[in-house]
Structure 1
Amino acid sequence: MIAVIQRVSSSYVEVNGEIVGKIGKGINILLGVVKGDTDEDIKKLVNKIPYLRIFEDEIGKMNLSLVDIEGEVLIISQFTLAGNLKKGRRPSFENAEEPSRAQELYNRFVKQMSQIVPVQTGVFAAHMKVFIENDGPVTFILNSKEL
């Protein structure tokens, strides 16, 4: 699994002009499910992301986690994170998990994350407009295979 995490002041997602998920201070997660991902990949990310000390304390040092600040998470499925751009100019998505399996893993990720912090989501496989007020900017890329 690949997760792009962004510290945000706020973030929301629209589908067909309607806001379907919205958060205040917290983390926006763009989540890509890769072929071969399992519950172990979910576990690695869920055990890492809410506890990353990427929020500033009273002296401006990144010393607080999402849990510490009682922040929220907006999770957006994004199969393009599994895209391969090595050959030619058109991305290949051969590494992206098959949609029904990807949705199953995405839903499990959302469920497990929501047991730790408040979670909002987009709509799996929908065309979405994601509005991200990146705070910092602070952005990290996590690959569950590297944790």
Structure 2
Amino acid sequence: MRALLQRVTEAQVRVDGEVIGQCGAGLMVLVCAMQGDTEANAEQLAAKVSKCRIFQDDAGKMNRSVVDIGGSALVVSQFTLSADTSRGNRPGFSAAAAPEDGRRLYEHFAKALAGYGVPVETGEFGADMKVSLVNDGPITIWMEF
């Protein structure tokens, strides 16, 4: 699985003009299941995300995790993280998991992350979503399991 983490002060996702998920200080997590991924990959990724120390401590160093700061997460599916740009100018997405597998693993990831005590809200799998956020730092981290 692939994830793009952004440290945010706030984030929200809208579908048809309606806010369906949001978070305050914490993480915006864009997630993509790849072909061959399993629930174990989703669980490993959730563990890593929950423990990733990208929040500042009292000394201003990035030593705290989203759990440590009592932050929340907005988790949004984004199959375009599977993009292959090695040939031509049009990205290919054939490495992404099939939609039914992608949905299952995306939902499993969100539940696993919540299991670490992180309040999690989500987007709507497969929907045309409008995401807005305030990237704090900016801090953006790529992860893959």
Deviation at residue 104 of structure 1 after TM alignment: 0.8
How do residues 1-147 of structure 1 correspond to structure 2 at under 5 angstroms? 1-116=1-116, 117-144=118-145
Report the CA distance between 1:80 and its aligned residue. Answer: 0.4
Q: Deviations over 1:18-77 (max 9, x none)?
A: 000011000000001100001121121111111111100112111111111000000000
Write the letter of the residue equivalent to 2:36: G
Deviation at 1:132, TM superposition (A): 1.3
Amino acid in structure 2 at the alignment position of 1:79: F
Secondary structure, counterpart of 1:43 in structure 2:
helix
Structure 2 SS opposite 1:67:
coil
Between 39-48 and 23-32, the greater mean CA deviation after superposition: 39-48
RMSD (Å), alpha carbons: 0.8
- Runs (4+) of structure 1 exceeding 4 A deviation are none
**1:1-30 superposed Cα distances (whole Å, 9 cap, x missing partner):** 110001000000011110000110000000
What is the aligned-residue identity percentage?
43
Give the Cα–Cα distance (whole angstroms) in 2 for the partners of residues 69 and 97 of structure 1: 33
Compare the two structures and name the one with the higher helix fraction.
1
Q: Secondary structure at the match of 2:88?
A: coil
Which residue type is aligned with residue 58 of structure 2?
A: E
What TM-score, normalized to structure 1? 0.95
The amino acid that maps onto 2:39 is: D
CA distance in structure 2 between the aligned counterparts of 1:31 and 1:92, rounded to whole angstroms: 17
Counterpart Cα distance in 1 of 2:122 and 2:43: 19
Q: Distance in 1 between matches of 2:110 and 2:42?
A: 9
